Amino acid sequence: GQNIDQPTEMTATEGAIVQINCTYQTSGFNGLFWYQQHAGEAPTFLSYNVLDGLEEKGRFSSFLSRSKGYSYLLLKELQMKDSASYLCAVRDWGSSNTGKLIFGQGTTLQVKP
């Protein structure tokens, strides 16, 4: 089966660092994505990992361990505008030979002054 878990809510302080974890179980893993979604808006792409290790993009970094079925998104120097839902999504290669994204429930991050 397919299962993606991430915390429902997190709170952090402006200027701090926060780590959002994601664990997954899928049958045909082919990459892990992180998306940011502000309330009422579309998800926007943040990062992609397919090999083990850390990918860094400015204030955002994402880590993947395929053997552990584990990823995290690290947000540094938090800003108020980072308050949003963060979606972990795994690309699953189904029987149709077409990759599809399976999303976790999302982590709502609230950044406080």
Partner 1 sequence: DTEVTQTPKHLVMGMTNKKSLKCEQHMGHRAMYWYKQKAKKPPELMFVYSYEKLSINESVPSRFSPECPNSSLLNLHLHALQPEDSALYLCASSPSALAVQETQYFGPGTRLLVL
Separation of alpha carbons 27 and 8, rounded Å: 24
What is the β-pairing status of strands 18-25 and 29-37?
unpaired
Tokens of 3: 């299962």
Residue 104 interacts with partner 1 (CB under 8 A): yes or no: yes
User: If residue 52 lies in a helix (H) or strand (E), which one and from where to where?
Assistant: none
Name which of residues 50 to 69 contact partner 1 (CB under 8 A): 50
DSSP 14: T
Residue 96 interacts with partner 1 (CB under 8 A): yes or no: yes
Residue 105 interacts with partner 1 (CB under 8 A): yes or no: yes
Considering the complex, what minimum distance in angstroms separates the CB of residue 99 from partner 1? Answer: 6
Residues forming contacts to partner 1 in the complex (CB under 8 A) are 30-31, 33, 35, 41-45, 48, 50, 87, 89, 91, 94, 96-106
